[in-house]
């Protein structure tokens, strides 16, 4: 998982309650492997750290594809 705060839709609004800020300080870019993702999830589920609040931005093409899928089904 690549966490790029620069592409997060809620950057600024949710940074104060995001695990990236809790662990590293102000927004940055971070890459977590599967084991690290599981560890962060376990810590967040246990209430020890805030969860990841990343909401990746969608490209126009991804947005249109999502809308099409919702209309079809």
Q: What is the DSSP string of 30-67?
A: EE--HHHHHHHHHHHHTTSSPPP---BPPPHHHHHHHH
Kindly list the domain boundaries of the chain, sorted by start residue: 2-72
CA atoms within 13 A on the CB side of 11: 13
Length of the chain: 73
More confident residue, 1 or 27: 1
- Average pLDDT of the residues in 11-22: 81
pLDDT range class, residue 3, cuts 50, 70, 90: confident
pLDDT digits (tens, 9 = 90+) for 31-66: 788 998 899 899 899 998 888 777 777 665 655 555
Could you tell me the CA-to-CA distances from 40 to 12, 18, 35, 57 in Å, in that order?
Answer: 21, 11, 9, 22
Q: What does pTM read for this prediction? A: 0.47
């Amino acid at each position: 998982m690549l966490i790029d705060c620069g592409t997060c839709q809620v950057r600024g609004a949710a940074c104060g309650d995001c695990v990236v800020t809790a662990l590293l300080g102000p927004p940055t870019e971070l890459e977590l492997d599967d084991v690290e993702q599981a560890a962060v999830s376990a810590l967040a589920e246990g209430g020890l750290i805030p969860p990841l609040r990343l909401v990746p931005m969608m490209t126009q093409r991804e947005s249109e594809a999502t809308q099409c899928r919702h209309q079809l089904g």
